């Protein structure tokens, strides 16, 4: 019996194979103003000049003490950058800009309701608010250098302010995406060991003022059950002075930040002088097992890398108005709304709501009003806006010089709409491929130096040297048309340092497979495995096909199939659960869920609903499957392994292939009938 056939369904397997597209060149106007037009940058950042090339990025920052060692590999593959250097991220993103830019907007906060005024927060105001919040966190919440604090905040200006206040004190923040459930927040509180939770009473999404405080109550209760006591919940108010949630305020535990801040008016807090390798934040992401992992990012290396790539790939100048429509609860927002752009004195837009509220013209009205000239979003948003408002961009008078797509592969057709309609044929596009773990971009074109190719991310950015291996560890050469596992040959300053509290998992998951010698202290022996499948064309442009592991990319957000399956198993009646990715017109991928029931239970709409509800409460709405299929049994190999490949094929209406080696081949027809009928 061929166990070899037990291939799990992965995104890469259902990837579409697009045609190689023709180059499109950036305009001379764009090139004339670009930050990086010097082709020798690739020589400067070649492997021969590694690791010292990254001094160029570190020198964009202000250091209290300069480092003595660029890269310390003594604890490989936990690499340390800029050792000996002392630095503070909050100082670099705020204080140092005051001299030149104190009167310039650092953040434009755009509330979702259109009748509420946009808030323009200057660097001076940001400085005052970050300092006052830092004083509160230190003196009221008792937080100090090295402590972890969990933030569960939506997209309002309070989120970057809170992050920068933490960074000022050397407190490690762990921001949980606002759309995640209280339970998901609790898991992250427990794993990070946070005794303070920072949240908000309510926020707008899709026209509704959502009660967010109730999630904090759930989170604190669930965390306590798991042994982590939260003694303070700091609650920002969406409307200062007014409580917009229904859930009661718990005396002695819940405090309104807006009230407390009055006691810190005018406070100034000296920034902590952090070691470059001290952690700045944790960002949890889905992995191959059920438990989300806390990617630990450094202070000096991370900030240098996000500053450098914001300048050269995003082409941000202090005079630009830059809008990244991602959520700060994901890595894109950390690196390319907050830390990277603010480190180089950008004016960064923070938009509270959804792109199509109240109509699909909204993003373009915001762009027009603020005169946004750099725009950054994900294919899922582009697909949605293209579908519901294909002609909307033309109605508004805005001009982008530069646009980014990030988070998932973008179909050439969608790319072209983005280029011609949203960008009005004027904007240079970068398709940036990277990950939570990598801190910043891995592959992209430098916008003024290389042409765009729809559907391809581009070559490695300066200092990133990709390599593709097949399953046996042989190098797959560019231009052969063969796909393989894309890895990065060298470390870089933006890379995460470890998984919080689990170094073994870090080594196992990212380095073990292609490690040349596990005892080696030489970085050359430790290629980083990304977990994506890719094809590299002869010109070195990388086309990402999708995940090779059991992670599904839904609307550009990573979800672990195991996480969804364990949420389904919380329902008493459920015996087994299997999640497979299914192609979706807007979201790219969507999870499809199969469950079988314990003996004695009958399939019913009620159980289906219970399963759906469990997923929403365990993880959040984003993890909702397309459908819950209650099947009489799972297709299994004779050794009892669920054949997700077969389920994946059925969900995607693809041929299911050879099923004769299954223990129960007859079940496939039954499931097929069920899925095609619906
Ligand atoms: C996918 C988001 C194709 C990829 C920054 C990666 C992409 C995962 C692209 C990381 C892109 C990200 N083209 N695929 N431009 N960008 N991906 O951690 O599969 O949320 O491994 O980081 O998204 O998702 P994450």
Question: What's the per-residue H, E or C state across 428-453?
Answer: EEEEEECCHHHCCCCECCCCCCCCEC
Separation of alpha carbons 667 and 634, rounded Å: 7
Ligand 1 pocket test target in 175, 329, 544 with most atoms within 8 Å of CB: 544
Ligand 1 pocket test target in 180, 407, 409 with most atoms within 8 Å of CB: 407
Pick from 171, 176, 167, 259: nearest CA to 216: 176
Which residues does residue 65 pair with via DSSP β-bridges, in sequence order?
Answer: 86
Report the pLDDT value the prediction gives residue 197, as an integer from 0 to 100. 98
- The DSSP line for 88-124 is -HHHHHTGGGHHHHTTSEEEEEE-SSTTSPPEEEEHH
Tokens matching residue 257: 């930040």
Tokens matching residue 633: 């049994």
Cβ neighbours of residue 574 under 8 Å, at least 6 residues apart?
A: 568, 595, 596, 597, 598, 607, 611
| Region label for 555, one of left (φ > 0), alpha (ψ between -120 and 50) or beta (otherwise) | left
Task: Assess whether the C-beta atom of 544 lies below 6 angstroms from ligand 1.
Answer: yes
Separation of alpha carbons 678 and 670, rounded Å: 13
Q: How many helices (H) and strands (E) does the chain have?
A: 21, 30
Element (H, E) at 349: strand 347-351
Separation of alpha carbons 426 and 562, rounded Å: 43
CA dihedral 189, 191, 192, 196 (to 10 degrees): 20
Q: Which atom of ligand 1 is nearest to the CA of 432?
A: 15
Q: Which atom of ligand 1 is nearest to the CA of 546?
A: 19
Q: Which atom of ligand 1 is nearest to the CA of 436?
A: 18
Task: Assess whether the C-beta atom of 549 lies below 6 angstroms from ligand 1.
Answer: no
CA of 663 to the centre of ligand 1 (A): 36
Regions of the chain short of the pLDDT cut 70? 1-9, 14-17, 287-290
CA of 409 to the centre of ligand 1 (A): 8
Three-state secondary structure call for residue 329: coil
Angle at 79 (CA atoms; ends 301, 407), nearest 5 degrees: 60
Pick from 153, 90, 99, 151: nearest CA to 124: 99
Please check whether residue 212 is in contact with residue 219, taking contact to mean a CB–CB distance below 8 angstroms. no
Tokens matching residue 364: 């373009």
Please check whether residue 222 is in contact with residue 258, taking contact to mean a CB–CB distance below 8 angstroms. no
CA of 327 to the centre of ligand 1 (A): 14
Report the pLDDT value the prediction gives residue 658, as an integer from 0 to 100. 83
Please check whether residue 488 is in contact with residue 510, taking contact to mean a CB–CB distance below 8 angstroms. no
The size of the chain, in residues, is 678
Which residues does residue 415 pair with via DSSP β-bridges, in sequence order?
Answer: none
Task: Assess whether the C-beta atom of 408 lies below 6 angstroms from ligand 1.
Answer: yes
Tokens matching residue 245: 């949630």
Separation of alpha carbons 559 and 288, rounded Å: 10
- Strand locations in 23-79, DSSP E? 69-72
Please check whether residue 272 is in contact with residue 81, taking contact to mean a CB–CB distance below 8 angstroms. no
Tokens matching residue 546: 């999708």
- Strand locations in 99-195, DSSP E? 105-110, 119-122, 148-151, 172-175
CA of 272 to the centre of ligand 1 (A): 33
Q: What is the CA radius of gyration of the chain?
A: 24
Report the pLDDT value the prediction gives residue 288, as an integer from 0 to 100. 63
* Farthest-apart Cα atoms in the chain, separation: 74
Tokens matching residue 448: 């003024």
Separation of alpha carbons 223 and 187, rounded Å: 7
Report the pLDDT value the prediction gives residue 1, as an integer from 0 to 100. 32
CA of 275 to the centre of ligand 1 (A): 30
Report the pLDDT value the prediction gives residue 7, as an integer from 0 to 100. 41
Which residues does residue 322 pair with via DSSP β-bridges, in sequence order?
Answer: 348, 374
Three-state secondary structure call for residue 322: strand
Pick from 104, 108, 62: nearest CA to 85: 62
Ligand 1 pocket test target in 286, 445, 553, 581 with most atoms within 8 Å of CB: 553
Tokens matching residue 473: 């560890």
Separation of alpha carbons 299 and 606, rounded Å: 49
CA of 669 to the centre of ligand 1 (A): 35
Angle at 651 (CA atoms; ends 17, 657), nearest 5 degrees: 70
Three-state secondary structure call for residue 393: helix
């Amino acid at each position: 019996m061929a166990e070899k056939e037990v291939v799990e369904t992965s995104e890469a397997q259902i990837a579409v194979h697009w045609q190689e597209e023709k180059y499109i060149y950036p305009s001379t106007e764009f090139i004339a103003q670009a930050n990086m037009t010097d082709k020798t940058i690739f020589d400067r950042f070649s492997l021969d000049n590694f690791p010292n090339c990254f001094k160029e990025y570190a020198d964009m920052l202000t250091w209290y003490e300069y480092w003595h060692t660029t890269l310390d590999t003594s604890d490989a593959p936990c690499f340390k950058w800029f050792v000996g250097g002392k630095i503070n991220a909050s100082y670099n993103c705020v204080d140092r800009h005051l001299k030149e830019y104190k009167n310039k907007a650092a953040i434009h906060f755009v509330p979702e309701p259109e009748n509420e005024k946009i808030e323009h927060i200057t660097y001076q105001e940001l400085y005052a608010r970050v300092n006052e919040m830092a004083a509160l966190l230190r003196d009221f919440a008792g937080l100090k250098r090295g402590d972890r604090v969990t933030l569960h905040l939506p997209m309002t200006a309070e989120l970057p302010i809170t992050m920068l206040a933490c960074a000022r004190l050397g407190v490690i923040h762990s921001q949980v995406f606002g759309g995640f459930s209280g339970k998901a927040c609790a898991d992250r509180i427990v794993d990070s060991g946070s005794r303070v939770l920072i949240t908000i009473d309510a926020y707008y999404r899709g026209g509704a003022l959502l009660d967010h405080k109730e999630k904090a109550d759930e989170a604190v209760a669930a965390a306590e059950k798991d042994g982590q006591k939260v003694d303070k919940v700091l609650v920002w108010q969406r409307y200062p002075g007014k409580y917009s949630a229904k859930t009661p305020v718990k005396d002695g535990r819940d405090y309104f930040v807006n009230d407390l801040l009055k006691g810190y008016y005018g406070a100034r807090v000296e920034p902590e002088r952090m070691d470059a390798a001290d952690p700045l934040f944790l960002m949890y992401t889905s992995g191959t097992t059920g438990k989300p992992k806390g990617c630990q990012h450094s202070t000096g290396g991370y900030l240098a890398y996000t500053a450098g790539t914001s300048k050269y790939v995003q082409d941000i100048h202090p005079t630009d108005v830059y809008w990244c429509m991602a959520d700060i609860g994901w890595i894109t927002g950390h690196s390319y709304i907050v830390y990277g752009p603010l480190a180089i004195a950008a004016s960064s837009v923070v938009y509270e709501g959804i792109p199509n509220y109240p109509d699909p013209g909204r993003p373009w009205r915001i762009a027009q009003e603020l005169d946004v000239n750099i725009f950054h979003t994900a294919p899922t948003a582009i697909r949605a806006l293209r579908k519901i408002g294909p002609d909307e961009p033309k109605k508004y008078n805005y001009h982008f010089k530069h646009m980014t797509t990030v988070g998932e592969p973008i179909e050439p057709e969608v790319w072209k709409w983005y280029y011609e309609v949203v960008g009005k044929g004027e904007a240079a596009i970068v398709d940036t491929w990277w990950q939570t773990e990598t801190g910043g971009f891995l592959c992209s074109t430098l916008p003024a130096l290389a042409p765009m190719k729809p559907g391809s991310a581009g070559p490695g950015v300066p200092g990133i040297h990709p390599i593709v291996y097949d399953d046996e560890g042989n190098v797959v050469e560019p231009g052969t048309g063969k796909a393989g596992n894309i890895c990065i040959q060298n470390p870089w300053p933006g890379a995460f340092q470890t998984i919080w509290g689990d170094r073994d998992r870090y080594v196992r998951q990212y380095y073990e497979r292609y490690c040349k010698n596990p005892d080696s202290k030489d970085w050359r022996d430790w290629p980083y495995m990304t977990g994506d499948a890719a094809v590299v064309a002869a010109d070195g442009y990388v086309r990402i096909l999708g995940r090779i592991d059991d992670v599904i990319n839904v609307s550009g957000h990573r979800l672990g199939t195991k996480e969804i399956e364990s949420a389904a198993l919380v329902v008493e009646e459920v015996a087994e659960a299997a999640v497979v990715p299914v192609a979706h017109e807007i979201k790219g991928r969507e999870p499809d869920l199969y469950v079988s029931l314990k003996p004695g239970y009958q399939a019913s709409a009620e159980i289906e609903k219970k399963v759906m509800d469990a997923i929403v409460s365990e993880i959040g709405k984003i993890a909702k499957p397309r459908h819950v299929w209650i099947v009489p049994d799972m297709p299994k190999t004779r050794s009892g392994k669920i054949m997700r490949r077969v389920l994946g094929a059925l969900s995607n209406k693809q041929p299911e292939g050879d099923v004769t080696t299954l223990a129960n081949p007859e079940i496939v027809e039954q499931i097929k009938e069920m899925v095609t009928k619906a």
